[in-house]
Amino acid sequence: MTEQLPPLYKELPGADVSLTDVLRVLANLFQAEAVSDYCYEMDGNVATGRMWGEQLTAGIELICWDGQLLSPLHYERSADASSPMWAILLTDSPTNLRAGVKETRRRDRGSMAYLYNHHLVLNHLFQSMGSMRSVLIRLKPSVWAEVLTQPSASVEVFIQSSEPQFYGLHLTQTLLTHFDWLLDQKHFSENAPWQSLIHTLNICSEIFQCFDQRDPQYHKGLRSKDVERLYNAHNLLLSDFQAPPSLENICKQVGLGRDKFRQLFKQVYDATPYQYFQQQRMEEARRLIISGEHSVMDAGYMVGYSHLGHFAQAFKKQFGYLPKEARLK
């Protein structure tokens, strides 16, 4: 039986579309009611929570979501070469782990930052119901002349590219700190506009610094269809650390050959699939240990290691210290 997808909505993302108009389009998607021109309450069948936007300064706009997704949502971000705009999307869908009466939030394995341009068609299919936390930074042409001046050579190539560009970057602790601050505002921060701008500029700075460290040979255009495939492959790769799917199975599910998949994955995520999987499972293990809710042995088992010595060796290779020392760092 063919899986039935939710209705497809299309959003035009061009720089000539005002922030208030973009918010109204998104409000229709999420069945949200206006609290003000820049703040919406999501309380329908699609989602609950809040969505809000801020015009921070010349060429920089911010849109935030903090709530719960109740039903699948499918929308397409259309390409528009005549209306240049660049975007940074940070997404973190935490889950709750219960230990007695205490709740601790952990970062979802899909927590990422994505950098892309206006030549890219993005097809978003939100199938996983639950917590929805995202920050979208919209960068318009004036930002490069008035705010983010003198970009590096690699960032300049990204800005000037006439091909679809899409890159995934890990949410570092610094990025998570700024991300959490922006979402903790809960609505348009009229009392803290400069603080919102500072946190947003710090996000942009770190994202572009990370991008600048990548091998220039991977700064290439990417077909929109391949972006969708790689996004799905990323989620499949991290779906189960204890019993990860094989590379062959992932390639089959997303419709890419093994060599092509490895090449494109490296281009977008700056690591081979195996390197990326290993990095993320060690990050997960460290989070579990630092939380204080799990022993070193339990953390190793939860990320797929049955032998404590092998786990400790892999952990030290990535972080430079043993798992038992993680809480002291």
Q: 304: alpha, beta or left, given left = phi > 0 and alpha = psi -120 to 50?
A: left
pLDDT at site 99: 26
pLDDT at site 276: 93
Residue partners of 162: CB distance under 8 A and separation at least 6: 81, 119
pLDDT in tens, 243-260: 889 999 999 999 999 999
pLDDT-flagged residues of the chain (< 70): 1-14, 93-110, 124-128, 186-192, 218
Q: How many CB atoms lie within 10 A of CB 217?
A: 8
pLDDT at site 186: 62
Burial readout 191-201 (b: 16 or more C-beta within 10 A, e: otherwise): eeeeebbebbb
Burial readout 159-188 (b: 16 or more C-beta within 10 A, e: otherwise): beeeebbbbbbbbeeebeebbebbbebebb
DSSP for residue 163: S
pLDDT at site 1: 40
Ranges of each domain in the chain: 8-222, 225-328
Residue of 64, 91, 72, 74 lying closest to 129 (CA atoms): 72
Could you give the CA distance from residue 23 to residue 55 in angstroms, rounded to a whole number?
12
pLDDT at site 100: 28
Residues linked to residue 157 through DSSP beta bridges, in sequence order: none
CATH topology of domain 225-328: Arc Repressor Mutant, subunit A (1.10.10)
